Amino acid sequence: MIMNTGLPNPFRITIYICLCIVLCGSFLGTSTVRASLCQITNISVNYQQPAPPNQQIQLSTVVSGMCSPAEQQVFYTARVDIHDTARNQILSMASVPIGYLMLQQPNFVVTVPNVVTTPNVVASWQLAVVVYLFANFELVANGIDTSTVDNISVQVGTVQITTMSSIQTTMAMIATTTSSTMAQSTSTINEALSVEPIWQQVQSIGLLTAAAIITILALAFLFKLRKSRSKSASGGSI
């Protein structure tokens, strides 16, 4: 059985609408959106340089800033995310509580440590350091008060650089080797040149010896021929 309140339907609809507005206003009032209360004034990232390949290293991010006074006490937290810009990947997330800031001390300085693993190659590693400040204790999306990004480059491994001294040493070794080769070539040429006169001298000595032998044989033949003629002349006279 439907109870008749005696109120016309349009009036009841208006009452319902007002009640809905009041309830929605009360619900929205519990989650009022505030403007940013804090400002990050400086970021400094400390890390090993150069870093060894395929090893865990620590990046210490020093975050400085200040916050304006709020109507109620707000608990602040700093979070730092390390992004690999080439792979678009989050490598590490770390949070450090800042605490409650008072009107007399609105400034803060915190250090957030992150641990990452370096690549297994020698390269210049490009990273993005993303800093968040949360205006409540729970790290939820609507609790982010402000954020900022700082890009850094980490040298992984040692790049071999050829110095001028090593280049000069190499050039000196090449010059020494070239001089030794030229000296050996000159000695070989001199030896080849000195062989020809000796051979010519041997040939001259051989010719002189042959001529002397022929002369001796000719003289011996003439002497023998003369002796034979003398014997013949002696026999005829007898």
d(CA 127, CA 11): 64
Other Cβ atoms within 10 Å of 98 Cβ, number: 19
- pLDDT tens across 121-161, in order? 999 999 999 999 998 744 444 578 899 999 999 999 987 76
- pLDDT tens across 79-125, in order? 999 999 999 999 999 999 998 888 788 999 999 999 999 999 999 99
d(CA 79, CA 74): 16
Q: Is the pTM here over 0.75, yes or no?
A: no
CATH code for the structural domain at 40-156? 2.60.40.150
In the chain, domain spans: 40-156, 162-227
CB 60 within 8 A of CB 113: yes
CB 76 within 8 A of CB 134: yes
